[in-house]
Chain A
Amino acid sequence: MSAIASARLVPRRDMTYRHGPVRHFSTDVWVLIKRSIARIGREPETLADVTFLPVIFILMFAYVFGGAIILPGSGSYHEYLIGGMLGMGLAQTAPGVAVALVTDMSTGLIDRFRSLPMSRWAVLTARTLAELVKQMISAAVVTCVGLAIGWRVHTRAIDVIAAFALALLVGYAFTWAGVCLGLALRSPEAAQQAGLVIFLPLTFISSAFVPTQGMPGWLQPVAEWNPMSALASACRHLFGNPDPAVAVRAWPMQHPELAVFCWSAAMLAVFAPLAVHLYRRKALS
């Protein structure tokens, strides 16, 4: 039978399969992750936020602002910078996830997904996991550029792995915040701008680029309790890089690893259910 002759609109038999809900869920998630990754392959420019952006930031801070920043105590600013830059690079992907989600909503693709026999969680889970792949690229870029400007780790491999794991955990939690943002807004442009307005101060009012000791007194607690500061301190600690925040009395600065873990768990506990709630509400109204 030729291909055209057998090209029937209605299949002769039911070709669909039945599996348990877990297998269905993982299949749906995998299919959608493949979609996001195929998209990156076809449009590499969508990777600009995890490639060019971190490179520019590192070079600017290392060679433009860095000279004017004096670390309390001692230590190399280049070594100090990378621990903060890692978190900065991951947090900056959150506006992108919001934009991608708003775009899917506005093209009707999400409606199509919703009329298919898929799990409600699959669309959002796949989106956040695909973002995790991008964040790994971001972490790799930061690492490579860091090594090139003279950043080194002085600890065991297990500590370095723990640092990257913590960074990706925070990044994953931020992604869910980005998902909520995307579901709350109507246009890709609005998502892009809101992302900048929220995530830029979040990364800058922290110890990611400069020690909090130099900030005005009223701003210091804000920066010290910022999850980005905890992540920066945790990474510096685990990499064996200089971290002036050890002298800061605030609890997250004294226990940065635990603080990172608590912040991430809290953000996931809030934003993941909120995202699903927004998704259902947006979809049904």
Chain B
Amino acid sequence: MSETPAIEAERLVKRYGPTRALTGLDLAVPAGMIYGLLGPNGAGKTTAVRIFATLLRPDGGRARVLGRDVVLQAAQVRRGIGLTGQYAALDESLTGWANLVMIGQLSRLTGKAARWRADQMLARFDLTSVASRAVRTYSGGMRRRLDLAASLIGGPSVLFLDEPTTGLDPSARAMTWEVVRELAAEGTTVLLTTQYLEEADQLARRVAVIDGGAVIAEGTPHELKSAVGGAQLTVMLAAGSDLRAAIAAVRPYARGSVRPDQDGRRLSVPVAATEGLTTRVVYALDAAGIRVNDVTIQRASLDDVFLALTGQAGPDRTHAA
């Protein structure tokens, strides 16, 4: 089983009229891994998840979950999956408890097992005190927790999380992350779509960047960051320092062109982050007689990866460089 990926896509294509949502998506998610699907709005993340969850039929290519074809063996696929979308899919007029028991029974649990699991899930998600209230009285965060609990009640082997923390406050987000990590530690495969680069960086062992309906980069977050250029060295020169001499001093360590900013006080140097680099740069500048106020090395963030690959800025990117 460990050789067969838990989630697999081969040249997956989906069209909505003239719009091509997926243009040949290839993906292989090993069992037991948290896998991130990263991409801008409209990249095809949700479409891909809906195909894997048997909610959409692909127009071309193949998708398998747990080794079963999502079109031809949809019934078997559904037995092993859980899905949490961007909006809580619950019956508003029923209580939280009744929702969980219902989903549990529809997930093929016996009535007794469904009630037992519902109690467990409510306790685990800190919802026991509101278990007998109608869902329509729940706050947004409570709904999302209940929705996640509903996805897990049947004990799925593969969990799809489509932007699970969009619109959540930081503590609710932290709790979702904790749940996802615990699931993966217990052997559940988690496919997570997100627009939050930090979320992918924190949770996912591997990440696929999607743009225009296809995967444009894949690897561990570290590999993706390294591929984009490793790290950025920034040197703040003291007043009156010789800019040209400073550029010459750091050039041996640069992996690309050294760019001074407009007032000539700051240098941005793409570097390969190696052991002791900062020390050597400081000595080189000192040997050239250049006084420096500050030297920092910043590793590339997934933001940089995102920008480099999709040509779109991540949410918190500024254009200082």
B119–A35 CB distance below 8 A:
no
Q: Give the complex CA separation of A11 and B55 in angstroms.
A: 25
Looking at A106-114, A189-197, A232-240, the stretch in contact with chain B turns out to be A106-114
**Chain B 83-113 interface mask (CB, 8 Å, partner A; 1/0):** 1010111111110001000110111111001
**Chain A 221-251 interface mask (CB, 8 Å, partner B; 1/0):** 0000000000000000000000000000000
A116–B107 CB distance below 8 A:
yes
B81 within 8 A of A: yes
Given A4-B123, A10-B155, residue A115 in contact with residue B87 (CB < 8 A): no
Q: Give the complex CA separation of A11 and B109 in angstroms.
A: 12
Measured between C-beta atoms, what is the minimum distance from B65 to chain A in Å?
A: 11
A115–B124 CB distance below 8 A:
no
Which of A7, A11, A28, A117 contacts B123 (CB under 8 A)? A7
B78–A10 CB distance below 8 A:
no
A42–B93 CB distance below 8 A:
yes
B123–A112 CB distance below 8 A:
no
Q: Give the complex CA separation of A146 and B297 in angstroms.
A: 86
Q: Which residue on chain B has the smallest CB distance to residue A28?
A: B106
B79 within 8 A of A: yes
A-B contact count (CB 8 A): 115
A109–B91 CB distance below 8 A:
yes
Measured between C-beta atoms, what is the minimum distance from B45 to chain A in Å?
A: 16
A39–B91 CB distance below 8 A:
yes
Q: Which residue on chain B has the smallest CB distance to residue A34?
A: B102
Looking at A12-20, A55-63, A77-85, A163-171, the stretch in contact with chain B turns out to be A12-20
A115–B81 CB distance below 8 A:
yes
Of B81, B87, B105, B150, which is in contact with the most chain A CB atoms at under 10 Å from its CB? B105
Q: Give the complex CA separation of A285 and B59 in angstroms.
A: 11
Measured between C-beta atoms, what is the minimum distance from B35 to chain A in Å?
A: 18
Looking at B180-188, B193-201, B255-263, B271-279, the stretch in contact with chain A turns out to be B180-188
B117–A11 CB distance below 8 A:
yes
Measured between C-beta atoms, what is the minimum distance from A283 to chain B in Å?
A: 7
**Of residues 163 to 219 in B, which have CB atoms within 8 Å of A's CB atoms?**
179, 182-183, 186-188
> What bracket does the count of chain B residues touching chain A fall in?
35 or more
A8 within 8 A of B: yes
B75 within 8 A of A: yes
Measured between C-beta atoms, what is the minimum distance from A37 to chain B in Å?
A: 11
**Chain A 101-139 interface mask (CB, 8 Å, partner B; 1/0):** 000000111011111111000000000000000000000
**Of residues 117 to 151 in B, which have CB atoms within 8 Å of A's CB atoms?**
117, 119-121, 123-124, 134, 150
Q: Give the complex CA separation of A201 and B154 in angstroms.
A: 47
B88–A108 CB distance below 8 A:
yes
Q: Give the complex CA separation of A34 and B134 in angstroms.
A: 16
Which of B123, B134, B150 contacts A3 (CB under 8 A)? B123
B56 within 8 A of A: yes
A31 within 8 A of B: yes
B105–A31 CB distance below 8 A:
yes
Of B93, B106, B107, which is in contact with the most chain A CB atoms at under 10 Å from its CB? B106
A10–B183 CB distance below 8 A:
yes
A39–B94 CB distance below 8 A:
yes
Q: Give the complex CA separation of A168 and B191 in angstroms.
A: 47
A68 within 8 A of B: no
Q: Which residue on chain B has the smallest CB distance to residue A106?
A: B87
Q: Which residues of B contact A28 (CB under 8 A)?
A: 106
Q: Which residues of B contact A10 (CB under 8 A)?
A: 152, 155, 183, 186-188
A155 within 8 A of B: no
Q: Give the complex CA separation of A18 and B79 in angstroms.
A: 11
A38 within 8 A of B: yes
Q: Which residues of A contact B92 (CB under 8 A)?
A: 107
A109–B90 CB distance below 8 A:
yes
Measured between C-beta atoms, what is the minimum distance from B15 to chain A in Å?
A: 11
**Of residues 27 to 84 in A, which have CB atoms within 8 Å of B's CB atoms?**
27-28, 31-32, 34-35, 38-39, 42-43
Q: Give the complex CA separation of A108 and B121 in angstroms.
A: 21
Q: Which residues of A contact B87 (CB under 8 A)?
A: 107-108
B103–A112 CB distance below 8 A:
yes
B291 within 8 A of A: no
Measured between C-beta atoms, what is the minimum distance from B186 to chain A in Å?
A: 4
Q: Give the complex CA separation of A9 and B150 in angstroms.
A: 11
B110–A31 CB distance below 8 A:
no
B123–A16 CB distance below 8 A:
no
Which of B16, B55, B106, B150 contacts A31 (CB under 8 A)? B106
Q: Which residues of B contact A35 (CB under 8 A)?
A: 91, 94, 98, 102
Q: Which residues of B contact A9 (CB under 8 A)?
A: 124, 152, 179, 182-183, 186, 188
Ranked 10 nearest A-B pairs via Cβ: A108-B89, A16-B108, A112-B89, A7-B124, A10-B186, A11-B155, A117-B78, A15-B113, A7-B123, A7-B120
Question: Given contacts A3-B120, A15-B110, could you give 20 more A-B pairs where the C-beta distance is less than 8 Å?
Answer: A4-B123, A6-B120, A9-B124, A16-B107, A17-B109, A38-B94, A38-B98, A42-B134, A107-B89, A108-B88, A109-B89, A109-B91, A111-B89, A116-B103, A117-B79, A117-B106, A117-B107, A117-B108, A118-B106, A284-B55
Ordered by A's residue number, 30 sampled pairs between the chains whose C-beta atoms are within 8 Å are A3-B123, A4-B123, A4-B124, A6-B120, A8-B186, A9-B182, A9-B188, A10-B155, A14-B155, A15-B109, A15-B155, A16-B108, A16-B109, A16-B154, A18-B108, A31-B102, A38-B98, A39-B91, A107-B87, A107-B89, A107-B92, A109-B89, A109-B91, A111-B83, A112-B83, A115-B55, A115-B78, A116-B154, A117-B75, A285-B56
